[in-house]
Amino acid sequence: HASTALLLPSARCLFDQPVQVKVEGLRSRQVVTMRARSTDEKGVVFSSSATYRADGSGEIDLLRDPSLSGSYVGVEPMGLLWSMKADALHKRFQKPCALNPHVVRFSVHEEDREDRMLAEVTNERLLIGNGVSRVPVKGRNYQGVLFTPPGEGPFPAVLDLCTLMSEKRASLLASRGFMVLTVPVYTDHPDNVKQIHLDHFKEAVDFLQQQPKVGSKGVGIMARSKGGDIALSLAAFVSGVKAVVSINSCNAVVGVPLYYQNHQIISPLRSDITKIITTESGASILKYGLGDPLAEENKDSLVPIEQAKGHFLFVASEDDLNWDSKAYMDQMAERLKRHGKENFETLCYPGAGHLLEPPYSPYCASSFHRLVHHVVLWGGEARAHAEAEVHLWSKIQEFFRTHLSCDAAQTKAKL
């Protein structure tokens, strides 16, 4: 009595594409345990499991059927992916290089018998689309990786400012038709960085604008967390920034002073480490450890976003435990309104945590924070967080397409 597991439309897909998981050839109403397993680049194994009951004809379809118990319950077509966890506490799924696919093995077992496997199928989730080129780039004062979609273009251009080097978001966005340069905020160990120079990131913006296949008149910037205050500052001080997606970032400069043209332009927001909360799991809640950006003594740390010519998409997770993203977002919206500006949209996700990623990543509740040398709680409830990621990913693409319009004539003029 052979059963098969199927992945539709295909077992190979982009990381950010959903798959339909189906099982056929089970006994009528048979109850089985479905599992997913994957190993990240650090060799850590992530897994999930859920119990399903077949229908009268011995079939299970995750688009339709609810999980009865396990890592999640209810109808969650991609639940086996986002609910994957490591056996050890405080692990974050590491996939820094875009060239290696995220390989997930789905298997079907007799109920609660891991040793009795009935069917299995492997899902290859590619981080880089067909024909997308990946070129490491080294400027005078920055380094990064440039992803270019196949074809002649013209393509809208986006600078992805990641706090620490990661290619996933950039390579996936390039697979969706954008030219994307990903540049980390910290190339050195964060402890060794005493100041950050906006000029280094302006150099990356200029490099993008000079690419022959770029069609947009200005560039977009996408950033989360610490990358966010750099993105906001670029929008405020550097011309040519047309659209900024700022995800769970602060409205003030965090950590170290910001310099531009050899002058300090913004001083860092003070923090108060006595306000960090330690929980029983050993993970800390950093949320209350930053000073109030609106307090009198911190006003020199605020980014003057009202100077920006481009558009903003502010995104905040209401359950962010890294810092108070929702309050910072509201303060930025308020500041722009006060200056008579309407060049922004806000997006709020209740139940989501700090680490909003491209969709279908294993949800991470807590992990080691390389900037503060602590294991921290990121916040969020897995299902709501996973839903937010799917919604946000399409919003980002829509926002950049709207504000980075391409004109074929322009590209020719450049060539």
Just list the catalytic residues: 225, 320, 354
* Residue 244 exposed, middle or buried by CB count within 10 Å (0-12, 13-18, 19+): buried
Do β-strands 155-162 and 133-138 pair in parallel, antiparallel, or remain unpaired?
A: unpaired
Amino acid present at 147: F
Residue 292 gets which letter from DSSP? P
Left, alpha or beta for 119 (phi > 0: left; psi -120 to 50: alpha)? beta
* Dihedral class, residue 282 (left if φ above 0, else alpha if ψ from -120 to 50, else beta): left
Placement of tokens 């909003």 in the chain: 356
Taking the C-alpha atoms of residue 231 and residue 238, their distance in angstroms, rounded to an integer, is 10
Task: Transcribe 112-157 into DSSP letters.
Answer: T-TT-EEEEEEEEEESS-TT-EEEEEE-SS-EEEEEE-SSS--EEE
**Could you give the CA distance from residue 114 to residue 349 in angstroms, rounded to a whole number?**
37
Question: Rounded to whole angstroms, what are the CA distances from 51 to 18, 20, 269, 383?
Answer: 20, 17, 48, 17
If DSSP codes are grouped into helix, strand and coil, which group holds residue 338? Answer: helix
The per-residue b/e assignment along 338-359, b for 16 or more CB within 10 angstroms, e otherwise, is: eeeeebbeebebebbbbbbbbb
Bridge-based pairing state of the strands 196-197 and 277-278: unpaired
The CA distance from 355 to 56, in Å, is 41
Q: Which phi and psi (to 5°) does residue 305 adopt?
A: -65, -15
d(CA 265, CA 251): 15
Answer for the pair 39, 46: CB distance below 8 angstroms, yes or no. yes
How many angstroms from the chain centroid is the CA of residue 156? 19
CA distances from 176 to 41, 81, 104, 400 (A): 24, 21, 22, 11
